[in-house]
């Protein structure tokens, strides 16, 4: 079991926890990338474009809401998620161009 955050005794232990969390976040982003690959395959099959503006705004609104629920700055999360979404759209565009 993990040590509760307020019981972390030193910087080395704290940094280890941060590094482990960063690795977990990267793994989740890798899983998201695989889902984007599948989205591109589905979009190709049904004739949708990579960019669907209403969906972009829906995803950003969801991220902002989740951020606020976690005590994070929704404006910061908005900027991060828009970059993430733009990368995903580029990824889909590249796949759609192949097909």
Reading the block at residue 62, the tokens are: 């969801």
pLDDT value, residue 2:
73
**Angle of helix 74-98 versus helix 11-46 axis, rounded to 10:** 40
**Angle of helix 53-69 versus helix 74-98 axis, rounded to 10:** 150
C-beta pairs of 96-99 under 8 Å, 24+ apart in sequence: 96/40, 96/43, 96/44, 96/49, 96/50, 99/44
| pTM score, whole prediction | 0.87
pLDDT value, residue 3:
74
Q: Each residue of 58-76: pLDDT tens digit?
A: 999 999 999 999 999 999 9
Separation CA 56–CA 92 (nearest Å): 13
Assigned fold of 10-98: Chorismate Mutase Domain, subunit A (1.20.59)
Is the model's pLDDT at 11 over the cut of 70? yes
Q: Each residue of 14-59: pLDDT tens digit?
A: 999 999 999 999 999 999 999 999 999 999 999 999 999 999 999 9
């Amino acid at each position: 079991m993990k040590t509760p955050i307020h019981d972390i005794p030193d910087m080395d232990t704290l940094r280890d926890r941060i590094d482990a969390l960063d690795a977990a976040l990267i793994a989740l982003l890798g899983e998201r990338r695989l889902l984007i690959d599948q989205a591109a395959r589905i979009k190709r099959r049904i004739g949708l474009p990579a960019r669907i503006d209403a969906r972009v705004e829906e995803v950003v609104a969801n991220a902002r809401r989740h951020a606020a629920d976690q005590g994070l700055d929704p404006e910061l999360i908005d900027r991060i998620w828009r970059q993430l979404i733009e990368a995903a759209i580029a990824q889909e565009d590249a796949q759609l161009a192949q097909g």
